[in-house]
Every structure is written in C-alpha cells, then in structure tokens.
C-alpha cells in the first residue's frame, strides 16, 4: 500500500566507521525546512478559521511561554504530538554528590505520543543517492507526466530534477544550464526558460530535439556554490541514463 508521506533522504558516509565500506547514514533532504508559529498561524487562518492571524499568533506564542515555564519548573508537558520531559544526565558518585556543570547536563527529552508514532507508520522513504562532502549532486529525476523516477521521461514533457547545489547561476550565462548529451557526445540545451530554479530543485521542459527511443546523459553546468559563485563552471552528471519515451495513447 502506497504511503501518504515520503521522506526523501541522502546517504552520507559514516565518518565514525572509516574502516567499514559503504557504511552510510540517511540525511533527510527537507530537514532544514522549519515551520514557525507565524507559518502555523497563517495556515490555520487559510484553512479553517475565522480568527484573525494576530489572535492566533498571540495564542501560539503564549502557549510557548506556558510550556517553557512548566518544563523549567521540573514538570512534563504533553500535547497531541509530543511529551516534553525534563532530565538530568551524568553520573553521581559519592555519599553527598552535588551538581557539576562539567559532568552533568540539564536537558529536555521530546518523546512522540502514541498518536504520533502511529502516524509515522504512514511515512515512506526514498533514497535520493549518495552525498559526499557536501558537494553538488543530482539525486533524482522525476517525469511529471508519469511520475516515474527510473530514468524514463516523456518526449516534450516536463521533468523535476532534485539534488544539492544544482541551481543554475548566474542565469544570464548562456554557457550554463541543463543539458542532454547524446551518444555522439553532442550537448542539447533547453528551448524554454526554467520553470523552477533552486539549489535543491529544478523543473524544466525537455528540449524538442530529444527523440523518442533515444538515450541521453543529463548534466547540469552551473557556477552556483552558495553566496559566492564559482570562478569556473561545475559540471554535475546524473548517474542514471535518461531514456525518452512517447506518451501513452
């Protein structure tokens, strides 16, 4: 049965086990996306409430204060998603030990509720690929029409390219962009502007010159590296061959 939610993750080498080959840990690609009280308030207003945004935000912020004060007083707080429980870590040695900040730590445990753990059963996992050293990589290509991620794309259709540091920048440089290399080594560029162009996702329409039944190598040429562009273009190649197919009748 298909999962309603999918967590997309990169595999990173486990640096704690350098002697073990192919030992990786999963890094969720969307872990940096954080919902704040302002976002929650806007969502509630938009979806199902006649309350004013300012009123909802004020209530959420006040709740944060109540929760924080309760835990600081040494008590636990539980809502529909998590239980916050105060905890002291460290070893206590001797007949009359005292708290030592160098040996002991005051912290809070966040424990999912039964309802939340049950909801997690409906989460699937999709591995985007291996990620090394925080470098650029194309992890997944999805055909918009079919939803397939096996390397087949629909002729003249749109595709979603997901990865890290794949944004085309500067966009004004015509030598940069998304290219499809044929079996003769010729690069075919896009005919239309990018639909979406971010460090983690590019959406574009396939070039009209891509023939049905042919196989290509997808590559991205960009100088994007964050706040300071690279002096020379970086070429990012997708490991899976791209096969163009005709749409079903």
- Does the structure show a pLDDT above 70 at 5? yes
In order of start, what are the domains of the chain with their CATH numbers?
A: 5-123 (4.10.520.10), 135-245 (2.70.50.70)
Query: Which of 36, 9, 41, 43 lies closest to 25 in space, CA to CA?
Result: 9
6: three-class secondary structure by DSSP: strand
Q: Got the DSSP string for 180-228?
A: EE-TTS-EEE-SS--SEE-SSEEEEEPPTTPPTT-EEEEEEEE---SSS
Write the pLDDT tens digit of every residue in 212-233: 999 999 999 999 988 788 888 9
Write the pLDDT tens digit of every residue in 44-70: 998 877 889 999 999 999 999 999 999
Question: Considering the entire predicted model, what is its pTM?
Answer: 0.59
- Does the structure show a pLDDT above 80 at 16? no
- Does the structure show a pLDDT above 60 at 137? yes
Confidence of residue 191 (pLDDT cuts 50, 70, 90): very high
């Amino acid at each position: 049965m298909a999962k309603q939610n999918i967590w997309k993750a990169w595999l990173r080498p486990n640096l704690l086990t350098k002697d073990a080959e192919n030992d990786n840990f999963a890094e969720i690609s969307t872990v940096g996306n954080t919902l704040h009280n302002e976002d929650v308030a806007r969502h509630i207003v938009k979806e199902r409430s006649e309350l004013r945004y300012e009123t909802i935000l004020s209530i959420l912020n006040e709740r944060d204060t109540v929760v924080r004060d309760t835990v600081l007083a040494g008590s636990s707080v539980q809502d529909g998603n998590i239980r916050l429980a105060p905890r002291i870590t460290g070893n206590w040695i001797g007949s009359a030990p005292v708290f030592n900040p160098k040996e002991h730590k005051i912290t809070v445990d966040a424990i999912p509720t039964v309802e939340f753990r049950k909801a997690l059963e409906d989460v699937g996992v999709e591995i985007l690929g291996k990620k090394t050293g925080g470098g650029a990589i194309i992890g997944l290509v999805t055909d918009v029409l079919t939803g397939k991620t096996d390397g087949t794309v629909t002729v003249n259709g749109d595709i979603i390219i997901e990865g890290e540091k794949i944004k085309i920048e500067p966009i004004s440089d015509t030598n940069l962009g998304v290219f499809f290399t044929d079996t003769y080594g010729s690069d075919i560029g896009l005919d239309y502007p990018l639909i979406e162009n971010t460090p983690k996702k590019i959406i574009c329409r396939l070039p009209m010159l891509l023939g049905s039944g042919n196989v290509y190598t997808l590559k991205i040429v960009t100088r994007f590296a964050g706040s300071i562009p690279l002096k020379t273009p970086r070429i990012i190649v997708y490991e899976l061959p791209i096969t163009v197919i005709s749409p079903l009748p």
